[in-house]
Structure 1
Amino acid sequence: MEFLYFLLIGAISGWLAGQLWKGAGFGLLGNIVVGIIGGIFGGWLAARLGIGGGGLLSQIIIAAGGAWVLLFIISLIKR
């Protein structure tokens, strides 16, 4: 069940990051992957900065922030 929860947060955060970073969406599956990787990165970064919480909304925002940073890095590489 935790794996499905992880995928759901990844999908939502990847979609949200794709909406914030226009033209950088990768479709549903790509957004899930970006969201999961972004969630891992965002969680790591939030822990280092001492921010975050345990709630669902907090996890989505942190994962979306990580996914947004990941999309930014990808866009720099694609240039």
Structure 2
Amino acid sequence: MYWVWMLIVSLIAGIIFGPLARLVLPGKQNISLGWTILGGGIGAFIGGLIAKLLGVKDTPGPDWIQYLIQIICAAIVVAIISARNSRTKAA
């Protein structure tokens, strides 16, 4: 049940982390808002798993380090989606 809840929360977090990921990436990303949110959600999920493995999620108060890890992961996923989308349009 925990994994389902984490997946739902990650997809909701994608609404915030996806656009933030696009802000930290240099240049223009040729992807839609839907792909941005989905990439942000996937990155938030992966970042949440990494934070849990590192023990960051067990701290009291706001988990700023976890959020930073999730934004970094979201930026990586959005960059991969953008690169894949650019390569598909070029072909």
* TM-score normalized by the length of structure 2: 0.57
- Secondary structure of the structure 2 residue equivalent to 1:24: coil
The number of residue pairs the alignment matches comes to: 76
Task: Decide whether aligned partners of structure 1 residues 27 and 57 sit closer, same or farther in structure 2, where only a CA change above 3 A counts.
Answer: farther
Alignment match, 1:38: 43
Runs of 4+ in 1 over 4 A off after TM superposition: 56-59, 75-79
Gapped regions of structure 1 (runs ≥ 5):
none
1:10 matched to 2:14: yes
Q: Does 1:66 align with 2:73?
A: yes
Aligned-pair Cα RMSD in Å: 2.9
Identity %: 28
Q: Give TM-score, length-normalised by structure 1.
A: 0.63
- Tell me, in whole angstroms, the C-alpha distance in 1 between the residues paired with 2:10 and 2:81: 22
Q: Choose 1 or 2 for highest CA Rg.
A: 2
Distance 1:56 1:45 in 2: 13
Whole-Å separation in 1 of the counterparts to 2:71 and 2:16: 8
Distance of 1:60 and 1:25 partners within structure 2: 25
